[in-house]
Amino acid sequence: MTAVLFDFSGTLFRVESTESWLRGVLATAAIRLDETELTAAARALEAAGALPGGSAPERIPDELADTWLIRDRSAALHRAAYTGLSRQVPLPDPALHDALYDRHMTPDAWAPYPDAVEVLRTLRERGVPVGVVSNIGWDLRPVFRAHGLDPYIDVYVLSYEHGIQKPDPRLFATACEALGADPRRTLMVGDDRRADGGAGALGCGVHFVDHLPVTDRPDGLRPVLDLVG
Question: pLDDT digit string (tens) for 149-158?
Answer: 999 999 999 9
Q: Which of 68, 89, 108 delimits the end of a domain?
A: 108
Residue 30's pLDDT is 97
Distance CA 54, CA 18 (A): 7
Q: Is the pLDDT of residue 229 over 80?
A: no
Q: If you average pLDDT over residues 207-214, what whole number do you get? A: 96
Structural element, H or E, at residue 6: strand 3-6
Does residue 133 contact residue 166 with C-beta atoms inside 8 Å? yes
Domain housing 131: 3-14+110-227
Do 134 and 214 belong to one domain? yes
Please tell me whether residue 174 adopts helix, strand or coil conformation. Answer: helix
Do 171 and 140 belong to one domain? yes
Do 122 and 218 belong to one domain? yes
Q: Which of 108, 128, 155 delimits the end of a domain?
A: 108
Q: What is the largest CA-CA distance in the chain?
A: 55
Residue 88's pLDDT is 97
Percent of the chain surpassing pLDDT 70: 100
pLDDT tens digits along 163-192: 999 999 999 999 999 999 999 999 999 999
pLDDT tens digits along 3-17: 999 999 999 999 999
Q: Which of 108, 131, 153 delimits the end of a domain?
A: 108
* Total domains in the fold of the chain: 2
Residues facing residue 132 across a β-bridge: 6, 156
Do 20 and 93 belong to one domain? yes
Distance CA 43, CA 48 (A): 9
Does residue 183 contact residue 175 with C-beta atoms inside 8 Å? no
pLDDT band at 95 (very low <50, low <70, confident <90, very high): very high
Q: If you average pLDDT over residues 118-129, what whole number do you get? A: 98
Do 41 and 119 belong to one domain? no
pTM for this entry: 0.96
Do 75 and 93 belong to one domain? yes
Backbone angles phi, psi at 134, to 5 degrees: -135, 140
Q: Which parts of 133-168 fold into alpha helices (H)?
A: 141-146, 159-162
Q: Give 118's contacts (C-beta < 8 A, 6+ positions apart).
A: 222
CA-nearest of 226, 225, 209 to 217 is 209
